[in-house]
Structure formats: C-alpha cells, structure tokens
Structure 1
Amino acid sequence: MQAKRLLALITASLLLGTASAQADMSFNRVASFPVALNAPDAEATSSEIVTATEDGMMLIYSDSPGGGIGFVDITDPGAPVAAGYLVLEGEPTSVAVIGNKAYVGVNTSDSFTSPSGKLVAVDIASQSVDAEYDLGGQPDSVARNAAGTLLAIAIENERDEEAGEGGLPQMPAGFLVIFDVAAASVRTVDVTDVAEVFGEDPEPEFVDFNDNDEIALTLQENNAIVIVNGVTGEVVSQFSAGSTTVTDVDTRRDGALSFSGQQEDRVREPDSIKWLDTERLVIANEGDWKGGSRGFTIMSRSGEVLFEAANALDHYAARVGHYPEARNSKGVEPEGLEVATFGDTQYIFIAEERSSLISVYRDTGAAPEFVQVLPSGISPEGLVAITSRNLLATANEVDLREDGGVGSHVMVYEMAEGPALYPQLISDLDADGRPIGWAALSGAVADAEMPGILYAVSDSVLSSAPAIYTIDANVSPARITAKTIVTRSGDPAQKLDLEGITLDGNGGFWLASEGDSARLTPHALYRVNANGAIVAEVPFPTALRGAELRFGAEGIARTGEGETETLWIAMQREWGDDPKGQVKLLAYMPSSRTWGAVAYPLEAAAEGAWVGLSEITIHGEHAYIVERDNQIGDKAQLKALYRVALSEMVPAEIGTTLPVVKKELVRDFIPDLAKSNGYIVDKVESFAIDASGIGYVITDNDGVADSSGETLFFPIGQID
C-alpha cells in the first residue's frame, strides 16, 4: 500500500509539474458552433466526424441523422459561421478532404444483412455532388494519405446488436477499400481470416495512413489490427490488440464514485487508430462487444505494447467531475483520436465519449506526458487539427433538443500563450492515491474564518454516497481537498437529495434535501457534525407538505444565534398554495421548532420554460439569491443573482397570506457563463461569499448525464 501511495503522489506531482511547465502555451476553446444552424428545419442533427479544407478556413462534418454534411466557415475561428448543408441520399459516416473535394462515406444499407454504401465526391466550392462510387458495403471510417492520391475506407458491415445477443459472426463480412483518386478506381482488400476471434467476420472500424502509404486498420470486435500496403493492397501484417488488467477503477453503477474495482484481462477492442510515425501506433480502447480497457495504448507496428494508459483517463475525468458513473462499464470510453504536430511538439488528442472530454498528451517517443483536458460538447467523436493555424476542432454528436437539452456542437480550440482555462475545479487524490470523485455540486457555503475555503454538497446523482466537499479557492484551478460522506448510524445516508448547505455555528452544517414522494425521499433539513454524521432531522411541517410538488428546497442559509437563530430555505418553484410567479423563502427557528415564510417574486418565464431559485446565501444585511430559468444554450435568458434586505424578511405563518419581499438585481451571470466559449449551461446551483467578502459561483453538471459534464467555478469579486 505504501508503494501505491508513493506512486500516486509521484504521478500527481508529475501531472502538476507538466501543467505548470506548459503554462506559457495551452489549448483553450475559442468558439462553439451549434450545428442546427446549418439545418434549422431538421428534427435532429449531429456532427460525428469533422475535417478541414486544406487552407484550414472551412470545417466539414458528417451528420448521420440529418443525412448530409455541414460546412462551417472558421475564417475567424472565434466566430464560426454556418456555411451550408448538403443533403446526401443515405447516412454519411465519415468525410475526408483532398484538394477542392470532400470524399464522404455514405451508408445506404437496407438492413444489417443487406449492407451497401457509396463514396461521394463533393465539390466544396459549389457544395454539389461530383461523382458517386459503389463501395459494396457499409462504410465507416474514411482516411486520405499525405499525398492525396489514395483513400482508405473501412467497410464495417456492422453487426446487429439485437440479433443473437449481439454476437459474432454475422454475415456478410466487412473488408477494406482502397480508392485511387486519379484513376477513380475502387480496390477491395479481403481482411477475413486474419484475426483470432471471429476471422470470418472482421468488423473493420477505423483506418489511418502513415507516410509510407501503409494503412492501419482496426477490427474492433475482433480485437485486432491489420497493416495493409496502400499501393499494392497487400496485407503486410496483423496482430491482436491484446488485453490488460485495469485496477483502481469504478466498476459499479451504484450512485457512488469508488475507484477500488478491477477488470481482469480486459480486451482492448480499439476504435480509432493513428500512426505516431512509421513504427508506432496509438489506439483508443473504447470497447464494443466484450471489452474496452478505458484508456489508450501505444504499440509498435509488430504489436509490442510500448505504453498503456490504464486508468489514467478515468482518474483524471473523476478529478475534474466528468466521470460517467451512471454508465461506466467501459469508463470514459475513449473513441476518437488525432495526432498532430504543433511547432516542434507532436500531440495526441483522445476524445472520450462518455466523459465528454478531450485528453491532450505530448508524444515524447517513450511514455507520453499528460498536458491538459479540454471541455467538449456532449459525446465527442471526431477531431481534426489545423496546425497551420494552431487550431483543433471537435465534433460532438449528441442532440438532446427534443428533450429540452442542447444540440450537437462543433467546437474550436486554439493553441496560444497563456494558461489552460479548464478545469476551473479539480480534486486531489485521497490517502490511497485514488481520485476524490465528485459531480453535480448543488449548494455551497463559505468557511466563517478562512478566506477562499468553501464547502459544497452533491445532489442525488451520487445518491449512495452523499458528501460534503472542502474546496480551496485560493489556488487556480480551485481544488477539492477533502470529501466527507454524510452518514446515518455509521452508514452512508440514503434517501437524500442534497441541494443546500450552511454552517451550524458549532463546527458542523445544516443541509437541505429536496424531497420527492415518488421516490420516498422526504423534504427535510439535516444537521450534521464535522464528520458528516446526521445528528438531527427536521421534516417539513404538515401545513407545507399538503401543497407539495416535486421541486423543493434548493438552498439554505443561517442567520442569528440562540433564540434568534433562523434557517432560511429557498424553494425552487411554486407549490400548490403559491400564487403564480411567487415562491417561498421558508424560515425555520431551531430553538422553538417553528416555521414561517415570505414570498419571493420570480421573473417571468419565456414560453415553454420555467423560472425558479437555486441558492440562498446571507451576507451582511442581505440574503443573496440565485434565480434562473431551466433553459440551456441559446435559449437561456435568466441566470442571475438578486438580493433581498433581511429587514424585508419577516416570516408569516404558513397557510396565511405571505408578505412579498422586494428584490434587487446584483449580477447577470450569462456574460460570465459565456466566457468559457461553450454554450450557456442551465444550472447555476451554488453561490457562496467567503470570509473576505468574495463571491463564488459554481454550476451543477448533472453528473455527465445528458450533459457535457462541465463545471464552471469562478469568483465575481467583492460583495458589498
């Protein structure tokens, strides 16, 4: 155990040292482009694979659900412009550019058992189809060689995951196509019977050329890699991607982040593959059928493992709040890859489908060095580097607009002088060298004496391990230094949905839990000691519960001492006894165990939206209240801080007509949220004012469930 702790400390030190050494040059996001702007009438749009024109001024992405390819003008990379959309007959799966043409692999299959597809040559200037070439099967990845004379297309002929429990073999078999650009000719390369798993059904997935015109091809479900001479079509070699044992990972979907599990002999089943040079390859071990080893591997062209990332991607995702606990059998699911040289340095970029992160490593020729993570949209798949302009672009495939979420985005990053701007909050390692996992921060309070020290809680996303997190905001990025589990009778407390936290004046805390009768979770307040043990439970009064609706306590603050001690609880939305447009600020006095309330006037909601409260903090003579709508992206209109004078907050008896307080706008948060150059997130959930009077804002990332996972943590200066 001591050796493990020492190794973890060394690893953490190296990561911090690397980040510090690279503080003068970093990749940072400069823009996000919602691809629905290219097809505003489409029910669903996506961006899956993205490439760039040879001058680097235009991005082209494949949109499978929309049935076309989209064009994005990035002449100004900080202000992408919708530049056109071309509908193709079928489902575009990948796109590559040679000269003035884009070559698109298009799936036209009628069924899994009758796969078909074509290669479509598109004139970029006119955005029209020049020619089509039958591929004889369902295409997946498309890649070009450096000279622009050859294309390689992986013909997957994918399996039906619902047939025969998704097993192999399923005919017809896939193969590789080599397209000669000048001759406009198609050559088929048979890759059956080269893999050890089900050789008759190779399931080709991803292709890449090296500088010698050799093609590396992954056979994902067969867990194999094939190298083909792109000029002759000869299979040069093949080898297994192998397996590895992954330790210290979270393997249970139990509402807790516990990195003590192990997966033995986990087959890698790589998705993307890239050449690092003519002798080395890097693979993203997403897994598909029976595997996925959660990381990436560098291998020699003969199959020797030169480097194994093991749990590194999972651990870093957990430290920045992006670990996908709700769907974690394959961890962060590394899927897409890009390898590119900026200046004198070659970088490896790994797109993580489930964590919605891009991990950036420096290729050293030996073990790669971690550089940084980049926040992406939801489920990044494709990446393209434009080294001539110091740019990187990602395609993020998920469209959640039908469910009120955000749509697919193409995001643009620039390498420039300055520090990395993300993450804004990162956790330390615990005593065993494992990450302090966190997500979905939903309420915060500041330490009464130590400036920059905050305490935050997580909501029901981590229902099996409700926790209080200690945050040090005196460093950048801010750091979670400790995690205290909330317990009842010695065990992690159940049936909590913590949405608020305040100091109790005696070294412990009062917590507010948002109830949900459908889940048997009570609306209640809980007092815990410094160790997180619940020492008192206060249910909402009967007079209040009679008007219960789903959206309850969203924040708690404390004022006064002794007989005047009062806990103020911000209710998120109107309950059954509230006038429309008014929500309660509840008052509970522990000394007398009595309840009261005042009414808070909400801003008007846009059509189809709602407005509610998400935090309350008391500072000086005012209560500071976060009010927001439930909208995201370009629909977001209200994310703001208001204040109410404490002299206004004279509670009346619940069930009577409540006095309506007057509020004053303190700050509009939307400009702050826009500074990350992503889309506007919906949940500004936490606000705290520290011992020196500095205000801090934290957003709730929903635990990477239908979310990009981004948590924004930023100060807003002195609060008068």
Structure 2
Amino acid sequence: MVSIQENNHFAIVSLRDRKVVRHFDAGAVTVSGVDTRDDDQIVLDGTITAKREPDGVAWLSDELFASANEGDYEGGSRGWSIFDRNGRVVWDAGNTLEHIAVEHGLYPDKRSDAKGIEPENVAFARFNGVPYVFVNSERGNFTAVYDVSNPRSPKFRQLLLTAAGPEGVVAVPSRGLVIVSSETDDPDNNLRGAVGIYGIGHGLFPSIVSKDLIPWGTLSSLSAVPGKPSQLVASTDAAYVPTRILTIDTSSAPATIFKQLTVTKDGKPVGYDAEGLVARTGGGYWIASEGSAGTPNLLVRLDSAGAVRQEIPLPADIAAAVTTNGYEGVAESGGYVWVAIQRSLKTDPQTINRIGRYNPRTGEWSWLGYPVDTAPLGWSGLSELVAVDGNTFAVIERDNQRGPQASIKKIYEFDVPATWTGFPTVKKRLVKDLLPILKSDHGWVQDKVEGLAVAGNGQTYAVTDNDAIDDATGETLFLRLGRLL
C-alpha cells in the first residue's frame, strides 16, 4: 500500500509482479466541532471540508488498512481512517482525535487555521492477542493508541507522550514495544530530535484531563479552594485570551478540570499574563500578572464572579528595575498580599530575587531578598509562592532548562521575620527536589514547574506549564506530593 499524499490517492503495488494492481482516491470528509481560528482561544465551533491527503499507511489485515490524514496543500481532515482494499471507508475518526487532544491539554491552537494536530503516521501490531493502531500527532506531540478488535468501531485506549514532532512509528510486538521518532531539533529552545521507546499499559500520563471538552493548557499557577478540601484552581497565562480560572477535582485519578471562569473587566472578557493565583478565604481571587514590553506587572483583585475590582501596579522604583521576568507567584496571609518576582531586579545582585509584601489597607510595599541557586546553564528563578502558615512560605525554584540539561526543579520554604526594615535576605530550607519525579517516566523533562498548592485535605500538589505546545513538547504533569508542607 502506497499513499500519494498530495494527490489524495492510494495505490496497491504487487511486489511480486512489480506493478500497480489497484489505485483509488482517499476521498474527502466534512468535520464539525473543530477549532479553525488561530486566535489564542480553543473554540470547537468550526467546520472543515477537506481531502484526506494521507500520509502514513499500515495494513491491518489482507482486507483492511489504516491511514493518517495529515493533509497538505488543501488542508487536512485532522483524523485517521480505516479503508478496505477497494477504497471504501470503513471508519473515520472525524473530530474525535482532536477532541482527545483538547481533553489532554495537547491541542496546538496556533495550528487551528492550518491542519490542527496533523495526524502524521500509523503503525499496526498485536500485543497479547489484541490488535492496536498507533497514530502519531505531529503537532500535538503524542501517539494515540487504539484497540481495533472491531475495525468498524475502534476504541481509544491511551496517549503516549513523545518528544516534539513525532514522525516515525514502529511496533515491535515480540518485545511488547512501540518506537517513535521525533524530528524537531531546535537547540535554541532545548528541543532535540529523539527516539522514544514505550511499553503498552498505564503510565504517569495522563495526570490531569478535562471533562465536557473544557479547553486548557499553560497551567501557570495553583491555589487551594477555601472550604473545598479536594479542589484546586489554576489560571491560564498569556498564551490564551481571555484569562480563565479552572477548577480542578483532585479526588479523581487523573485529576479533572471540571469548571472554568472567565475573567472580565468592565463587563468584557480580559486577558492577563496570570502567572500567580490565590483563591481568597472571603471569596474572590488575587492574580499576579507578569509584565512584558509595554505591559506592567499588576496585582489584580477579582470578585467571586471573576470580575476585576482593582489593579495595583508596582512601586515606580521597582517597576523601573524589573525585567520581563516579573511576577510569578502570589499568596495571601496575615492580612497582606505577598508576591514573588521571578528574576533579580536590574539593581539587585543577580543571585537575589525579591519577595514582596503589599498592605491593601495602606498601599505600602515591603521587600525581602530570596537567594536563588546558581544554575549550571541558563538562569534560576522563582515560579510560585505559597503561604504555609502565618510566617512560613514555600516557593518553586527552577532553572529554564529542559530535557537532559534540566538541573534545578526544587521546592524550598523560608520564614519571614515578624518585622523588618530595609531589604533583608531570608534563609531557605530544601523541602523537595522534583527533578527525580520529572525524570521518572523517562520522557522529556519539563522545564516549567510553575504551580504549587496545599489543598484543604493537607495534600501538596505541583503542576507544569506546557507553553501551549509552542516551542515545547506540551506535556502537563500534575504531581501529587503527599503531605509535604
């Protein structure tokens, strides 16, 4: 079986006779309920009609074969199909594979106006007597596993997380293995071409999914929900507009995103780079919005409906000295709002970051220094701030490296003095090195551990930011750390 992608065609070639014995077109398909706009939102309300333009193919039997419909010049159908040897469609994925990507936080919005997740290749094999099809998603960075015991109704079983840009896939049933090669090689973003070797069965992924097709990604913060012992909230960062607050049920495995709240200002949806979030005991939220060129760092107070009630800028001298790596965490304790700035100010020693205390009654700011570890490569900074008790806080300290170059992914805690003047430096204590956990699935180590929370049930959780699968592998790890803090 040969796919002729840009001609929307298949050919069956007899190797013995050295000739084409049959050929037929791959047809077209209309798919509804997909995202067709590159607009920093995942909205599944679009419809496409596209030729299948097949890429990889694999025989399932003497009569049936599967094809990944990547598309090319005239778009893609965003799924995969099973045909009989006469070219009749036995089954087509329609929108279901893209919906699976959305549920797992692996949908690449920037490809919405092109070919979506781009199914790239397929392989077939039997494992312990069960026939499986393995489908690569080049832009979603995963391999989907289907049980095709009934080829007219395949059953999705799991996703295998790959390095960026999976192209080749080969099954080795005698060893119980699937091997995937990924082509993206971008050293500037610490993404390298890689080969992944997988067994079939349950692994660490997925650790978090959504229900009812709630779109998600870039979980850049975590917070406990007062009065809800098994619930957390997380915020989406500037990769998506508008900003949303997502509610997570930790009592299920995997954890489940089951509710979303859109942030509004003056009655209209609004976008912040919400790198820090804390749910308030009396209702509502504080967001720490990281600034960028032309956009200030803001402490934003929301009511319980997600409406903006107050925006608080940094003091002028701090605002002038902060880099583009500004706010990354927020906490509320003792009547104060506390913030963490990711990297050193231009006017501070490069090994000292800032922890800020804001008094909402007086508008006064006070500052503490936090000593960061020296990273072997790149830089090290703060990614989260959590109030443990009245005078103890925990932070995530991490470098900006991933893959084999990652070295600093740690939770530290420190105590703050009852009173202080000037700019004293706190003493930190190591609580947990997260790098062994991030390495434990033998996949591509994530760099952005950005959320940390202690839920009302006493359990500590951490989560990675997947960068909306933009120059990233896209995997989100939701870590259950036990009674840690």
TM-score bucket of the superposed structures, by smaller chain: over 0.9
CA contact (8 A) 2:278 2:285 kept: yes
How far residue 420 of structure 1 moved from its aligned partner, in angstroms, is 4.1
Q: Which residue in the other structure is 2:163 paired with?
A: 377
Q: Which residue in the other structure is 1:690 paired with?
A: 455
Q: Distance in 2 between matches of 1:421 and 1:580?
A: 36
CA contact (8 A) 2:203 2:441 kept: no
Identity, in percent, stands at 38
How far residue 452 of structure 1 moved from its aligned partner, in angstroms, is 2.2
Counterpart residue type for residue 440 of structure 1 = T
Please list every run of at least 4 consecutive aligned residues from structure 1 whose deviation after the TM superposition is greater than 4 angstroms: 649-652
How far residue 649 of structure 1 moved from its aligned partner, in angstroms, is 6.6
Q: 1:483 aligns with which of 243, 254, 260?
A: 260
CA contact (8 A) 1:586 1:596 kept: yes
Q: Distance in 1 between matches of 2:184 and 2:51?
A: 27
How far residue 716 of structure 1 moved from its aligned partner, in angstroms, is 0.8
Counterpart residue type for residue 708 of structure 1 = T
- Please list the CA deviations of residues 368-398 of structure 1 after superposition, one character each: whole Å capped at 9, or x if unmatched: 1111111111111111111111111111111
Q: Distance in 2 between matches of 1:717 and 1:277?
A: 48
How far residue 543 of structure 1 moved from its aligned partner, in angstroms, is 2.3
Return the TM-score normalized by structure 2.
0.97
Counterpart residue type for residue 6 of structure 2 = E
Query: What are the ranges of 5 or more consecutive residues in structure 1 without an aligned counterpart?
Result: 1-215, 430-434
- Please list the CA deviations of residues 156-208 of structure 1 after superposition, one character each: whole Å capped at 9, or x if unmatched: xxxxxxxxxxxxxxxxxxxxxxxxxxxxxxxxxxxxxxxxxxxxxxxxxxxxx
CA contact (8 A) 2:91 2:151 kept: no
Q: 1:538 aligns with which of 312, 315, 319?
A: 312
How far residue 407 of structure 1 moved from its aligned partner, in angstroms, is 1.3
Q: Which residue in the other structure is 1:436 paired with?
A: 214
CA contact (8 A) 2:189 2:471 kept: no
Q: Distance in 2 between matches of 1:546 and 1:350?
A: 50
Q: Which has the larger radius of gyration?
A: 1
Paired residue secondary structure (1:546): helix
Paired residue secondary structure (1:246): strand
* Alignment of 1:388 onto 2:174: yes
Paired residue secondary structure (2:343): coil
How far residue 415 of structure 1 moved from its aligned partner, in angstroms, is 2.8
Q: Which residue in the other structure is 2:277 paired with?
A: 501
Q: How does 1:535-614 map to 2 (within 5 A)?
A: 535-560=309-334, 565-606=335-376, 608-614=377-383
Q: Distance in 2 between matches of 1:276 and 1:454?
A: 44
Q: How does 1:515-534 map to 2 (within 5 A)?
A: 515-516=291-292, 518=293, 520-534=294-308
Counterpart residue type for residue 369 of structure 1 = K
Paired residue secondary structure (1:389): coil
- Check 1:553–1:582 CA distance in 2 against 1; reply closer, same or farther (3 A cut): same
Q: Distance in 1 between matches of 2:418 and 2:40?
A: 38
How far residue 235 of structure 1 moved from its aligned partner, in angstroms, is 2.0
Q: Which residue in the other structure is 2:11 paired with?
A: 226
Q: Distance in 2 between matches of 1:378 and 1:365?
A: 29
Q: Which residue in the other structure is 1:627 paired with?
A: 397
CA contact (8 A) 2:142 2:159 kept: yes
Q: Distance in 2 between matches of 1:609 and 1:229?
A: 55
* Alignment of 1:356 onto 2:141: yes
Return the TM-score normalized by structure 1.
0.66
Paired residue secondary structure (2:139): coil
Counterpart residue type for residue 91 of structure 2 = F
How many pairs does the alignment contain? 482
Counterpart residue type for residue 298 of structure 2 = A
* Alignment of 1:302 onto 2:78: no
Q: Distance in 2 between matches of 1:649 and 1:338?
A: 63
- Check 1:677–1:266 CA distance in 2 against 1; reply closer, same or farther (3 A cut): same
Q: Distance in 1 between matches of 2:44 and 2:263?
A: 19
CA contact (8 A) 2:30 2:47 kept: yes
How far residue 350 of structure 1 moved from its aligned partner, in angstroms, is 0.2
Q: Which residue in the other structure is 1:658 paired with?
A: 423
Q: Which residue in the other structure is 1:399 paired with?
A: 185
Q: 1:412 aligns with which of 197, 218, 231?
A: 197
Q: Which residue in the other structure is 1:134 paired with?
A: none
Q: Which residue in the other structure is 2:413 paired with?
A: 643
Paired residue secondary structure (1:221): helix
- Check 1:389–1:649 CA distance in 2 against 1; reply closer, same or farther (3 A cut): farther
How far residue 489 of structure 1 moved from its aligned partner, in angstroms, is 2.0
Counterpart residue type for residue 76 of structure 2 = G
Paired residue secondary structure (2:6): coil
Paired residue secondary structure (2:98): helix
